[in-house]
Amino acid sequence: MRILIIEDDMETADYVMAGLHRSGHLAEHVSDGREGIVCAAGGNFDAIVIDRMLPGTDGLTVVKTLRSVGVKAGIIFLTARAGVDDRVEGLDAGGDDYLTKPFAFSELLARLHSLARRPPLSDVETILRVADLELDLIARRAKRGDRDIQLRPREFRLLEYLMRNADRVVTRTMLLEKVWNFHFDPKTKIVETHMSKLRAKVSLEGEPELIHTIRGAGYVLRAPA
Amino acid sequence: MFFGRPLRIFRTASFALALLYAALFAGSAVVLGCIVYWTVQNSVDRQLTARIEGELQLLEVVLQADGSAELVRQVQQRVVYAGNLEYFLADVDGKRLAGSLPEATRKLGWSDIEVPDQQNRGHTKTFRVKTKVFDNGYRMTVGDDLAPIYEIRRAFFEALIWTLAAFLGLALLGGILLSTLFLRRVDAISKTVAEIIGGNLNSRVPLRGTYDPFDRLSASLNRMLDRIQLLMETLSQISNDIAHALRTPLSRLRHKLETALIAERNSESNKTIDAALMETDTILDTFSALLRIAQIESGTRTAGFGNLDLSNLFETVADAFATVAEDEGKTLTANIAPKVTYWGDADLLSEMLANLIENAIKHTAEGTDIEITLSTQNGVPVAAVADNGPGVPDQHRTRIFRRFYRLECSSGTPGSGLGLALVAAVAELHGIELVVADNQPGLRMTMSFVAQPPKQAEIRDFTGLSLFAEREKSVPLQAHAVPGVH
C-alpha cells in the first residue's frame, strides 16, 4: 500500500513510518497541511493518515478539500483531540476512520488494512466463505461443512465482520466500533467473552481452528494452512 | 400574540399590577364620587329647605300685614301657577281653605309625605313639607317635590357605574397590552438563556437602545454571558492545550515502550515493559476520562444528538454485557419495551448505560442477578439498572457520582473512580434524572428521560453501519427482550 502521512509531530511520524516500512508498505511523510493537499491530490495514495491539528491548514480543512477535489483514498484521522464531538466532525468532514492518540501501531495498521480492502460496495456478495465455513447473509445462516451453526444476532454480526476481513487482523476496538457501535472503551471483556463463545460454536473439538488471537493486536479469521 | 396564550398573560406581574392600579383608581373614584354626591345633595337640599322656609315667612308676613283673607287669596293664587311650591292652608278647625296638598300632615315642623301623582296614576311622589300654625290659628303647610334630588341621585349612580366599567375595561386592556410587551421582553431573555443552555454560547439578549430597566437588565446579562463565554473558551482552550501538550509526549512514551517491546527478546524486561505500557494506558485513560467529563459537563457538545431508538440502544448494550455477566457467574436479564425513543447522543448514552452495568457487574459477588429495564411511564421513558448485590449505604449515595470517589469496600477492584462521574455528566447533558435507591437488597439506579426533545423529526439509526443496518431489522429481537412491557 502507498500511504501518505500528514503529521507535524516528527516523533509520531517517524514511529508510524518505521512501523509501516516494517510491515512492507510504502509511506511518505509531509508535516504541513498545505503540502499535504498538494501531495495527496497529486500522488495516487491508497490511504492517508492525517493529524487533526496541523500548523497552517488544519486537518479537517485538508480532508474537506481533498474530498472536494475527488480524492478517493481512505483517510484516517490521527489526533490528540478525543472530544465528544470530534469524531463526528472528523467523519462528517470526509474521514473514514478516527483514531485517538496515543495509539498502538497494530491498531493503526489493522485499520489501514481494513480501509484499503473495503470492496467497492458490491452487494452481490450474499454468501461469505472461508475454508469450509459458510455464512449466508440473506438466509442468516452459518454452516461449517454440513454442520449448521446456531448464532445469536450479535454473534452473526461478529462473524460476518471477521469473514469480510478474513486474513486481516482486526483489533478489539475495531470490533467494538463496527459490531456493537460502541465508541468507548468498556472496562469489561465484552469482545473476549463474545469471541470465545463464537469460537466454541465455529470450531468444535477436532475441527481446525479458524479464529486466532494475535497477542497484543487482536483477532484474525483465516483458513488453516 | 396574546390571544394564543391568555392564561400566561393573566399570570404576569404586570397584569396583576395593572389590576391593582385599576382597583385603586376605582376605589378613589368611588370615594370622590361620594364626596361630590353628598355636597351636591346637601346643597340642593339646603336650597329646597330655604325656599320653603322663605315662602312660609313671606306668607306669615302677608297674614300679619294684610290679614287672613289676603293670606287665603295669596295661597289660592300661588297654587294656580305650575312649577311653584305646593300648599295646604287649614283654618282653626282643620278645614281646607286653600292649596292642593293632601291633608296628610298634621304634624308640625318638617316631614316627608307621599302624594298621589296626578300625571302617573297609581304612583306617588315624595314631597318635603313644613307645617306651621300661624298667629290666627291657621295651619299652613308648604312643600316641594323631592324628584329633582332623586333624579340627581339616579344620574350620579349611573355615571359612577359607567365610570367603573370604563375603568375596569381600560385597566384590563392596559394590563394585557403591558403584559404582552413585558412578556415579549421576558421571552427574549428566556430564549437566549435556552440557547445558551443548549450550547450556543454566542447567543445574546437583544437590546432596544431605550435604556429602560429591561434594557439595563439585558445589558447586564449580556456582559455576564460575555464573561462566561470567555471563561468557557479559555477552559476549552486549556483543555485542548493540555490535550496536545500532554497527550503527545505520553503518546511518544507509549510508542517508545511499544518499540522496545518489539526489539527486546528478553522475557523478563518484556514483562516490565508490558507493565509500563499498561501503566501508561491507565494514565492516559484517566486523563481522557477527565477531559471527556469536563467536556460533557460544559454542555456545548451536542453535535452527535439525534432522535434515537432507545429500545434498540438498550438491547444492544444489555446483550453485549449479558455474556460478560454470565462469564462472571452473574445473571443479566433485560426487560425492554419496544419503540421507546429519545433525543440524545447514542454514543454517550451507550457509554452511560455500559458504565452502570459494568458497575453492577464489578461490585457484586458471584450469583448476583442484574436487571435492566426500560419502559414508558406517563409518556416519559424510565430505565433502571438494578442488582441484588451489597448496595451502597445511604450516606454514600449522592457522593458516588463524584470524580475519584470510591467506596472503601471497592478499593480492591480495578477502576479509575470516574465511571459514575461520567454517568452523571451524560445524564445531566441529556436531561436525565438519576436516582440511586435501595433495591432491598442491592442497588437500583433509575433514569427518567424527562427532557423535551427539540422539534426535529429525523430518526438517527443507532445501528448506524450501512454494512449491517438493513439486515439487522429482519433479525428477531434479542432473547431477553420482552415486547409490550409498559
Q: Are residues B101 and B20 in the same domain?
A: yes
- Residues forming beta bridges with residue B333, ordered by sequence position: B371
A215 vs B contacts (CB less than 8 Å): none
Model pLDDT for residues B461-477, shown as the tens digit of each residue: 333 333 333 333 333 33
* End residue of a domain, out of A52, A82, A116: A116
Among the partner residues B258, B301, B467, nearest to A83 by beta-carbon distance = B301
Report residue B292 as a C-alpha cell: 471527556
Q: Are residues B463 and B321 in the same domain?
A: yes
Structural domain range at position B324: 305-472
Q: Which of A52, A53, A188 best probes binding to B when mutated, by most B CB atoms within 10 angstroms?
A: A188
B250 vs A contacts (CB less than 8 Å): 102
Is residue A186, in this structure, part of any structural domain at all?
yes
What phi, psi does B98 have (nearest 5°)?
A: -160, 170
* End residue of a domain, out of A116, A149, A176: A116
A15 vs B contacts (CB less than 8 Å): 252, 255, 259
Q: What is the pLDDT of residue B335?
A: 93
Q: Is B390 left (phi over 0), alpha (psi -120 to 50) or beta?
A: alpha
Q: What is the pLDDT of residue B384?
A: 93
Interface of A with B in 180-199 (CB under 8 A): 180-190, 193-194, 197
Q: Which of A187, A201, A214 best probes binding to B when mutated, by most B CB atoms within 10 angstroms?
A: A187
CA distances from B47 to A36, B41, B369 (A): 110, 10, 102
Q: Are residues B246 and B358 in the same domain?
A: no
Structural domain range at position A19: 2-116
* Cβ separation B285–A82 shorter than 8 A: no
Helix (H, G, I), strand (E, B) or coil at A170: strand
- Residues forming beta bridges with residue A28, ordered by sequence position: A4
Q: Are residues A140 and A111 in the same domain?
A: no
Per DSSP, the residues of B32-54 read: HHHHHHHHHHHHHHHHHHHHHHH
| CA–CA dist A62, A42 (Å, integer) | 14
Q: Are residues B254 and B310 in the same domain?
A: no
In 3D, which of B316, B351, B332, B364 has the Cα closest to residue B461? B316
In 3D, which of B335, B358, B330, B329 has the Cα closest to residue B478? B335
B288 vs A contacts (CB less than 8 Å): 82, 100
Q: Are residues B432 and B403 in the same domain?
A: yes
| CB of B471 closer than 8 Å to CB of A157 | no
Q: Which of B232, B248, B413 best probes binding to A when mutated, by most A CB atoms within 10 angstroms?
A: B248
Q: What is the pLDDT of residue A5?
A: 93
Q: Are residues A200 and A109 in the same domain?
A: no
Q: What is the pLDDT of residue A42?
A: 83
Q: Are residues B80 and B145 in the same domain?
A: yes
| Pairs from B18-23 (Cβ < 8 Å, separation ≥ 24) | B18/B171, B18/B172, B18/B174, B18/B175, B18/B178, B18/B179, B19/B171, B19/B172, B19/B175, B21/B171, B22/B167, B22/B168, B22/B170, B22/B171, B22/B172, B22/B175
Question: Maximum distance among all alpha carbons in chain B?
Answer: 159
* Cβ separation A194–B479 shorter than 8 A: no
- Can you give the pLDDT of all 486 residues of chain B as single tens digits? 444 455 676 777 777 777 787 788 888 888 988 898 889 888 888 988 898 899 889 888 888 888 888 888 888 888 877 667 888 888 888 788 888 787 766 778 888 888 877 777 778 888 888 888 888 888 888 888 888 888 888 888 898 888 888 888 887 888 888 888 888 888 888 888 888 776 677 888 888 888 888 888 888 888 988 998 888 778 777 766 776 677 778 888 888 888 888 777 777 888 888 888 888 888 888 877 877 787 787 766 677 788 889 999 999 999 999 999 998 899 999 999 999 999 888 889 999 999 999 989 988 888 899 999 999 998 899 999 999 888 888 877 778 887 777 766 555 566 667 888 889 989 988 889 888 888 888 889 999 998 866 543 333 433 333 333 333 333 333 333 333 333
Model pLDDT for residues B407-438, shown as the tens digit of each residue: 665 555 666 678 888 899 899 888 898 888 88
Q: Are residues B316 and B294 in the same domain?
A: no
Interface of A with B in 71-100 (CB under 8 A): 80-85, 87-89, 100
Q: What is the pLDDT of residue B29?
A: 82
| CA–CA dist B202, B80 (Å, integer) | 94
Among the partner residues A80, A101, A181, nearest to B464 by beta-carbon distance = A181
CA distances from B486 to A82, B374, B387 (A): 38, 9, 20
Cell numbers 470450531: residue: A203
Q: Are residues B401 and B339 in the same domain?
A: yes
CATH number at residue A52: 3.40.50.2300
Cis, bond preceding B476 (omega within 30 deg of 0): no
Interface of A with B in 33-62 (CB under 8 A): 53
| CA–CA dist B117, B149 (Å, integer) | 17
Is residue B187, in this structure, part of any structural domain at all?
no
Q: Scanning every residue of chain B, which has its alpha carbon at the shortest distance from the alpha carbon of A176?
A: B320
Q: What is the pLDDT of residue B3?
A: 46
Q: Are residues B23 and B140 in the same domain?
A: yes
Q: Are residues A106 and A133 in the same domain?
A: no
Residues of chain A with pLDDT under 70: 82-84, 117-124
Q: Scanning every residue of chain A, which has its alpha carbon at the shortest distance from the alpha carbon of B260?
A: A15
* End residue of a domain, out of B298, B329, B358: B298
Note the pTM of the prediction, 2 decimals: 0.63
Q: Are residues B314 and B269 in the same domain?
A: no
Q: What is the pLDDT of residue B334?
A: 93
Q: What is the pLDDT of residue A82?
A: 64
- In angstroms, what is the C-alpha Rg of chain A? 19
CA B228 from chain centre, in angstroms, equals 27
* End residue of a domain, out of A55, A81, A116: A116
Is residue A107, in this structure, part of any structural domain at all?
yes
Is residue B429, in this structure, part of any structural domain at all?
yes
| CA–CA dist A77, A61 (Å, integer) | 12
- Interface predicted TM-score (ipTM) of this complex, two decimals: 0.84
- The total domain count for chain B is 3
Is residue A121, in this structure, part of any structural domain at all?
no
